[in-house]
Amino acid sequence: MMRRRVVLTLCIVTAALAGASAGPGLAGGESAPPSGSERLRAIVRRVSEAQRRVESLEARFRQTKTSALLLEPAVSTGTFLYRAPDRVRWEYEKPDPMVVVFDGNVLTTWDPGSRRLDRVKVSARQGRFVRVLAGTQPLEGLLQYFRVTLAGAPGGGDRLVLEPVDAALRRKIRSVRLDIDPTLHLPVAVEYVEADGDTTLYEFSDVAVNVPVPEDAFSIRTEGGARVETWDTSGGGPAAR
């Protein structure tokens, strides 16, 4: 149930991102410069270049959700797959199986326990935020939505903190934190903090870059009897079911 809330929160945040204006000083799609030093600018460029070189990626992930409604953090683990340019798969294994697939402009959630399949259609700009959480969206493409600052990260890497520059987006999300691996130059931890202080952290391990990923990995097969619901957040409401 909590993992489903994480996915629904993601959909709400992406809807807010789609409605966000460029903000002061960002008219016409102009990007906001990262805050701070030339070193920060160099890191943003290096990470963006590394992300663009990724054709596919496979990793283990650990998701930790903290909330004032929880007595203790909710932890889930599973496998993560990515295939350029816009295919992402989270397969939750423990404590309860669930599959989340982002393919093109559709975010699909399959819960085998309840036999429920949810499809959420998102816009291209909303899809960028989904890829932020996967660490696959090049940073340079996000600068019109976020101001980036630099902090130290455990293990000798760099930590980038992204804060939304638009008031509409700030009402949904407070910040996104990316921990950058010093060798891969890719995010290996992604944490987003919602406006109410709830947090969701994805930590990636056993990362393998540009490995074969089968085409059908991004298809969800269900047996008969599944309950299907479809929502279209790119248009602001439910689609036909």
Look over the chain and give the mean of its residue pLDDT values, rounded to a whole number: 76
Burial of 147 per CB tally in 10 Å (0-12, 13-18, 19+): middle
* Per-residue model confidence (pLDDT) at position 75: 95
* Domain residue ranges of the chain, discontinuous segments joined by +: 2-20+37-234
Preceding peptide of 85 cis, ω within 30°: yes
* Per-residue model confidence (pLDDT) at position 14: 45
What does the alpha-carbon distance between residue 7 and residue 109 come to, in Å, rounded to a whole number?
Answer: 8
Q: List pLDDT tens digits, range 203-230.
A: 999 999 999 998 888 888 776 666 665 5
What does the alpha-carbon distance between residue 73 and residue 232 come to, in Å, rounded to a whole number?
Answer: 31
Selected from 1.10.15.40, 3.40.630.30, 2.50.20.10, 3.40.50.300, the CATH number assigned to the domain covering 2-20+37-234 reads: 2.50.20.10
- Asked whether the predicted pLDDT for residue 4 surpasses 60, the reply is no
Q: List pLDDT tens digits, range 100-152.
A: 888 877 888 888 888 888 888 876 666 666 665 555 667 787 777 788 898 87
